[in-house]
Amino acid sequence: MAKSVHDDVLDAALGYIRTNCDRMTACSAPPASYAEGNAGLALAGVAMGSGDFTVADGDVSGRKVTVGQKTGAAVDGTGTATHVALLDTVHSKLLYVTTCTSQMLTAGNSMTFQAWDIEIADPA
């Protein structure tokens, strides 16, 4: 029998991020904990809301959530951003970490987080 998964199952995982993520940070290394993603390695951050996420069909298969572009994010630290973290500050959870194009950031400036996707493929 072929493998399959209903879109609702994938949407539930992506919806958890959309519903619970309330902060996105640019980090100088991959955070392994909420504390690192929120402060220890965070160079910049911006508030997020459910309207910043759009769930749709995946580019290849399955489903994806697009994290919308955010401009004017305050840069609090100086360093090279190499990772982006999605956080749930209400429950102190590190929800998702990914790499990003390396960018030198300087405290006191602002930055733009470009739009990006989290995709969950259909089972193969």
Residue 93, beta-bridge partner list: 88
Cα–Cα dist 120/64, whole Å: 6
Cα–Cα dist 8/105, whole Å: 39
Residue 33, helix vs strand vs coil: coil
Please give the pLDDT value at position 1. 60
pLDDT tens across the length of the chain (124 residues): 689 999 999 999 999 999 999 999 999 999 999 999 999 999 999 999 999 999 999 999 999 999 999 999 999 999 999 999 999 999 999 999 999 999 999 999 999 999 999 999 999 8
CA angle 29, 42, 69 (to 5 degrees): 100
DSSP element (H, E) containing 15: helix 7-20
How many residues does this entry show for the chain? 124
Residue 72: alpha-carbon gap to chain centroid: 17
Please give the pLDDT value at position 39. 96
Please give the pLDDT value at position 9. 95
- Taking alpha carbons only, the member of 40, 8, 44, 27 closest to residue 97 is 27
Please give the pLDDT value at position 120. 96
Q: Where are the domains of the chain?
A: 7-120
- Taking alpha carbons only, the member of 30, 40, 124 closest to residue 81 is 30
